[in-house]
Amino acid sequence: MFVSDRQMLALKRDDIRLAPSTTRNILHLGFPSFMNNIIASINSTMLNHIIIGFGGALALAALAIIALRMPLLRLFTHDSQTIMIGKNAMFIFYWCLPFLALSRIITSIMRPILLVPLCMGLSQLGGLGITGVWLALPLVDICIFAFSWYWLRCYA
């Protein structure tokens, strides 16, 4: 590794060791983000399996279109069943956007904890099938909004 035309900087393996306190700080700062990503991945996988179980590949395709925030379903598919599923899901989602906007900060913490149990509860135990999954997604945001509102009223 060269510093200039005339000087060379030599780095040895022993020169690049991290102090234990530095390693601890790196892990302390990075571990919560790492766990958040792991939980979100598990959450997404479970949600996909629930959606496929109740609505099949068409429902999963509709979720993908919604997740990409594409409002015009017909730009991406001409299949009437997928469009119908997507329209129903978007109708439910769009009525809850104000709640989503107000609760975004706490969402990253509470969403993984609430989403899968609520999806399973509404779809399987509630007997709502794929509609239960669509309802669970905005209901999680409503629960988070209610928690945020309560927290702000009590502690702000």
Residue 68 resides in a domain: yes
Residue 1 resides in a domain: no
- 71: confidence class by pLDDT, cuts 50, 70, 90: low
Cα separation, 128 vs 124, in Å, equals 7
Residue 138 resides in a domain: yes
pLDDT score of 101: 63
Residue 15 resides in a domain: no
Residue 39 resides in a domain: no
Tokens representing 75 are: 């730009």
* Average pLDDT over the chain, rounded to an integer: 78
Residue 72 resides in a domain: yes
pLDDT score of 135: 92
- 122 and 128 Cβ atoms separated by less than 8 Å: yes
Residue 36 resides in a domain: no
Give the C-alpha distances (Å, rounded to integers) separating 35 from 10, 38, 40, 82, 112: 37, 5, 8, 34, 11
pLDDT score of 92: 80
Residue 65 resides in a domain: yes
Q: The dihedral of CA 2, 7, 8, 14: what is its sign?
A: negative
- 47 and 66 Cβ atoms separated by less than 8 Å: no
pLDDT score of 77: 73
Considering only residues 32 and 132, tell me which one the structure prediction assigns the higher pLDDT.
132
The number of distinct structural domains making up the chain is 1
Range of the domain at 144: 44-155
